[in-house]
């Protein structure tokens, strides 16, 4: 994949390096060697060049990725005229697999996908995952423009990102900004936490949910999922590394299979003495509130009232911690549950279920 290069008088630098050096450009925002004339001056040639470079980067990404971003029309009842909801999606493969948000297609009776060239197709839901707000749908066609996927683990705060949507079809909407924070957690509609969420300052347009968040080289690094309207345009995207795993599960099995213990649980605070005794980082553990009859936990001997403080070698303080550790636990592999029962520390091996 070639890097976008900007040519100046003396050297060639990648766009992101050039933007980073903005304030050190002579005559730019850094001033004349640190001196100020005390009056406002118009943009210099260097400023203009940098702004043009930024514009060329965004336009290049829009031209490259735009044809792969689709509009999704949703009807809640079959046979009705016109869409009752709308969102965006991104073409993953040339044979019609599209990644979007679960909340875009949830409870849909009919789906229509519209490409930027005006072609429209009926779509079927391959699978949905409310826990990550992701879904895969498919249209029956081939030779479609698919995107290139990036690596969300390699992202850095301050990196240029572009959000692309296609809520109405025929033309993409484009917004640019930077990554504000990484590693955020966002509560999904199912109640589970979505981890490693990407926070940006990109202003999402209505109907952009399900569209891609891409880097300056046009690689998809996230799926736009939410915007906080009262917080000056803070937007969130599910990282594409999570998307890869979810897509593989949905395409192969129609759902995301997660390991489970078969318990009802809640967080319970503990006193400092017990926290010190168990060498806990947080002053809370997970209390078993109910045990599912015939489930993995019941078969292994877990009891109501047990206080779980570790799973394998990882400490747990909340139910979210349990979910996070069990999400990708290998099927059929026993996990050691460390717990406190009637004041005694015990270790019980449980083979989690999969469902």
Instruction: Point out the residues that are catalytic.
Output: 103, 133, 209
Query: Which among 89, 46, 42, 99 has a CA at the least distance from the CA of 69?
Result: 89
Residue 306, token pair as written in the block: 């047990």
Which candidate, 215, 201, 197, 76, places its Cα nearest to that of 132? 197
226 pairs with which residues across the strands?
236
Burial category of 331 from C-beta neighbours within 10 Å (exposed 0-12, middle 13-18, buried 19 and up): exposed
Per-residue DSSP letter, 48: H
CA distance 219 to 240: 10
Supply the DSSP string of 102-118, one letter for each residue.
Answer: HHHHTT-SEEEEE-TTS
What is the Cα–Cα distance from 113 to 88, expressed in whole angstroms? 9
Structure tokens at 130: 């409310």
Return the HEC string of 14-39.
Answer: EHHHHHHCHHHCCCCCCCECCECCCC
Q: What is the 3-state secondary structure (H, E, C) of 164-199?
A: EECCCCCCCEEEEEEEEEEEEEEECCCCCEEEEEEE
**Rounded CA separation 258/254 (Å):** 13
d(CA 195, CA 181): 13
Q: How far apart are CA 123 and CA 197, in angstroms?
A: 28
What's the Cα-to-Cα distance from 162 to each of 79, 168, 200, 315, rounded to whole Å?
Answer: 36, 19, 10, 37
């Amino acid at each position: 994949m070639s890097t976008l290069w900007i040519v100046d008088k003396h050297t060639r630098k990648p766009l992101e390096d050039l933007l980073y050096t903005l304030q050190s450009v002579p005559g730019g925002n850094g001033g004349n060697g640190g001196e100020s004339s005390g009056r406002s001056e118009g943009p210099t040639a260097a400023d203009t060049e940098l702004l043009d470079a930024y514009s060329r980067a965004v336009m290049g990404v829009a031209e490259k990725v735009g044809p792969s971003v689709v509009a999704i029309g949703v009807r809640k009842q079959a046979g009705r005229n016109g869409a009752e909801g709308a969102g965006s999606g991104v073409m993953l493969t040339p044979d019609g697999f599209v990644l979007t948000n679960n909340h875009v297609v949830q409870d849909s009776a009919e789906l229509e996908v519209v490409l930027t060239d005006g072609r429209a197709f009926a779509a079927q839901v391959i699978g949905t995952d409310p826990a990550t707000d992701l879904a895969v749908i498919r249209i029956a066609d081939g030779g479609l423009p698919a995107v290139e996927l990036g690596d969300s683990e390699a992202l850095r705060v301050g990196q240029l990102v572009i959000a692309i949507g296609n809520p109405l079809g025929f033309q993409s909407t484009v917004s640019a900004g930077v990554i504000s924070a990484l590693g955020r957690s966002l509560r999904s509609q199912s109640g589970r936490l979505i981890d490693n969420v990407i926070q940006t300052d990109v202003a999402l347009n209505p109907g952009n949910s399900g569209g891609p968040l891409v880097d300056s080289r046009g690689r998809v690094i996230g799926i736009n999922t939410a915007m906080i309207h009262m917080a000056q345009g803070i937007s969130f995207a599910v990282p594409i590394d999570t998307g890869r795993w979810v897509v593989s599960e949905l395409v192969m099995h129609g759902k995301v299979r997660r390991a489970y213990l078969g318990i009802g649980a809640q967080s319970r605070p503990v006193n400092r003495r017990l926290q010190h005794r168990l060498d806990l980082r947080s002053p809370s553990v997970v209390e078993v509130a109910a045990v599912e009859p015939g489930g993995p936990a019941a078969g292994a001997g877990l009891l109501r009232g047990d206080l779980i403080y570790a799973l394998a070698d990882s400490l747990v303080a909340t139910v979210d911690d349990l979910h996070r550790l069990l999400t990708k636990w290998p099927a059929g592999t026993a996990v050691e549950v460390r717990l406190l029962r009637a004041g005694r520390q015990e270790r019980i091996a449980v083979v989690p279920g999969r469902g």
